[in-house]
Amino acid sequence: MKTNFKTAIATLIIIFSLISCESFIEVDVPQSQLTGQAVFEDSSTATAALSNVYARLRGEGMVTGSAFGLSNLMGNYADELTFYGSNTVLQSFNNHTIVPGNGYINTLWNASYGQLYAVNAIVEGVENSVNINTEDKNKLKGEALFLRAYIHFYLVNCFGEIPYITTTNYIQNTTVSKNTISEINQNILNDLTHAEDLLLDNYPTNERVRANKFVVKAMLARMHLYLQNWEQAESYATEVINNPSYNWELNIQNVFLKANPGIIWALHPGIAGLNTLDARTFIFSSGPPIKQALSVDIMNAFEPNDSRKQYWTRTITNGGQSWYHAFKYKKTLNTGTSEEYTILFRLAEQYLIRAEARAELNNLNQAVEDLNKVRIRAGLLESSATTKEDIVEAIIQERKLELFTEQGHRWFDLKRTGRAENALSPIKPNWQNTHSILPIPESELILNNNLSPQNPGY
């Protein structure tokens, strides 16, 4: 973490090298002046610093659509993908042979803490600014606090006990220690609740590419689901679902287009005409594939007539053999006008969150109604589940088929519900129960002894 914190502030200053003026504010300030206090002398330069964090989320770390983000890495780790390539580092995710020196683990860690450094610089800079008005301060700080919680959410669910970083103090950060899981979760909730208070209902731009109050509520719904706070999960999901700004997209083929009215938050591709990296990560055109493909397990899990199988997957055949790839995102080339953004929150997840929460609260009829909302769009009959246990199982199965290859949802569902052992041990010969968390990068333990001990099993 030491090296990462050293360079993070320099990265923060590179404000718009990868950001299009299509969705973000252009800043007419010489590059040499975008340092230190100058960044927070007015709201436009502070907004530029914040926009850079969104750009970094898109390009690296946990939720990037590239092959190095969780959509691919944890898709391989769980039962969504089978790896056919020669990249042994990536193959180790599929085979459960990850070691602490794994370069992709190191990238996830360093990218995330670099983003956190930038976020904390924004929080501190905005708080200390004398020129930014109160309304803009609230908006900027609220977004930064949301992002801080969001990044830590992925860190704790991937690595277990990790440091919760809330300062840019270099000396303090180089000797930081792990927080307990309960401390981390409480800090996440605190940051999200504060962000909810600060942010407005409206999005800061004409597109849904930055956080507003309802993006925070969607995250709070997810967070409370993971913590099994069923009433809060149901309440927050309901607030999002009932917001008239969001509308259920009935056409399954339009769900992953940027115009989908059910998108709550997405990441802009950065340059007009480009599209999310996900399509390039998962699509292949010939077989046998030289990278990851959808697993036989997930393809067999689709019910007959499930339109998600028809439109969200594609079959590649060669010599009597067939392989399958995710086809949610379809645009691999510049399309003139961007058509597909990286979608991080959408209504379907909120309905499934509320369905699970309602089932756990024994509101079984309402739970099935929410479940059927997703099933019917996929061209399926209404669920026949009637008992609480069967309804919960049906919801977890529906999440598997609705959210596959999206930011590690499947892996986190297996982990949080205690289903990982039963699902993975029959198909992953190297599976161990200690694989519920990833190893802390070896390089970080060398730099900071306070991060020891290494996670069990590594």
pLDDT in tens, 293-307: 999 999 999 999 999
Distances (CA, A) of 75 to 3, 92, 97, 128: 29, 12, 15, 42
Predicted local distance difference test score (pLDDT) of residue 41: 86
Instruction: Give yes or no for residue 24 having a pLDDT over 90.
Output: no
pTM above threshold 0.85: yes
Q: pLDDT digit string (tens) for 32-73? A: 343 366 789 899 999 999 999 999 999 999 999 999 999 999
Structure tokens at 236: 């927050």
Q: Is residue 276 part of a domain?
A: no
Whole-angstrom distance, CA of residue 3 vs CA of residue 443? 10
Number of domain units in the chain: 1
Asked if residue 283 belongs to a domain, the reply is no
Looking at residue 170, what is its pLDDT?
Answer: 83
User: Residue 124, exposed/middle/buried by CB under 10 A (0-12, 13-18, 19+)?
Assistant: middle
pLDDT value at residue 232: 98
Neighbours of 293 (CB within 10 A): 24
Q: For the stretch 144-172, what's the b/e string if a residue is b when 16 or more beta carbons lie within 10 angstroms of its beta carbon?
A: bbbbbbbbbbbbbbbbbbbbbbbebeeee
Residue 2 has what pLDDT? 47
Inside any domain, residue 279: no
Q: What is the pLDDT of residues 182-198, one digit of tens each?
A: 999 999 999 999 999 99
Q: Find out whether 236 and 264 touch, Cβ atoms under 8 Å.
A: no
456 is a domain residue: no
Q: What's the average model confidence in pLDDT over 152-159? A: 98
| Residue 185 falls inside a structural domain | yes
Q: What is the CATH number of the domain that holds 405?
A: 1.25.40.390
Find the farthest-apart pair of alpha carbons in the chain and give their distance in angstroms, rounded. 69
* Tens digits of residue pLDDT in 324-362: 999 999 999 999 999 999 999 999 999 999 999 999 999
Contact 139, 204 (CB under 8 A): yes
Q: Is residue 61 part of a domain?
A: yes
Mean pLDDT of the chain: 92
Note down the domain range covering 441.
2-270+341-451
What pLDDT, on the 0 to 100 scale, is given for residue 27? 33
Provide the pLDDT for residue 13: 40
Q: Are 447 and 454 in contact (CB under 8 A)?
A: no
Q: Given a cut of 70, is residue 10 above it in pLDDT?
A: no
Q: Could you tell me if residue 240 is inside a domain?
A: yes
Instruction: Give 91-111 pLDDT, tens digit per residue.
Output: 999 999 999 999 999 999 999
Sign of CA dihedral 427, 429, 430, 435: positive
Percentage of the chain exceeding pLDDT 70: 92
Give the start-end residues of each E strand in 1-111.
81-83
Inside any domain, residue 296 = no
CB 196 within 8 A of CB 216: yes
